[in-house]
Chains A and B, each alone.
Chain A
Amino acid sequence: MENYLYFRKNRPISASVTLGSATNTCPAFEVSDIGALAGNDNINEIAAISITSLDGGGTGHASVLFVPSAITPTLAYSATALAIATGTTHWIEPSDQAYANGVLTIDASGTTGGYDLDTGDIVTAYWKTGLETAFMYPVSALKGMVATSDTVTVLHFASILGSATDDTVTLTHSGVDSDSKGGFDHICKVMNDACNAYPQDGRIISVYDGHDGRVASLNSNPAAITLMEYAPEGGAAGMAT
Chain B
Amino acid sequence: MREENYLYFANAGGNDTDKDMAMFPASTFRGAVTMSSTTVEFFFAPQDGTGTTANGVLLTHADIASNTTSGTSPYADDKHYVVMEKFAQLASGNRKNTTNFTVIKDLNTIATGSTGAISSSGISEVTAVAITID
Interface residues of A (CB under 8 A from B): 1-4, 6, 8, 12, 14, 44-45, 47, 70-74, 126, 128-138, 141, 157-163, 167, 201-204, 206, 209, 211-212, 214, 216, 232, 239-241
B34 / chain A contacts, CB cutoff of 8 Å: 129-135
Q: A209-B74, A212-B69 are in contact. Are A132 and B33 (CB under 8 A)?
A: yes
User: Do most interface residues of chain B lie in helix, strand or loop, or is the interface mixed?
Assistant: mixed
What does DSSP make chain A's interface, helix, strand, loop or mixed?
A: loop
Contacting residue for A73 out of B37, B50, B52, B89, CB 8 A: B37
**Docked-complex contact B33 and A201, CB < 8 angstroms:** no
The smallest beta-carbon distance between A71 and chain B, in angstroms, is 5
Checking B43, B51, B74, B80 against A214 with a beta-carbon cut-off of 8 angstroms, the contacting residue is B74
Contact B55 A12 (CB under 8 A): no
A45, A74, A129, A138: the one contacting B31 at CB < 8 Å is A138
Q: Tell me which residues across on chain B come within 8 A of A72, comparing CB atoms.
A: 67-68
8 A-B residue pairings within 8 Å (CB atoms): A135-B33, A137-B31, A141-B31, A158-B30, A160-B30, A161-B54, A239-B33, A241-B132
Q: Report yes or no: A131 in contact with B35, Cβ–Cβ below 8 A.
A: yes
Which residue of B is nearest A129, CB measured? Answer: B64
Given A201-B92, A212-B66: A162 and B36 within 8 A (CB)? no
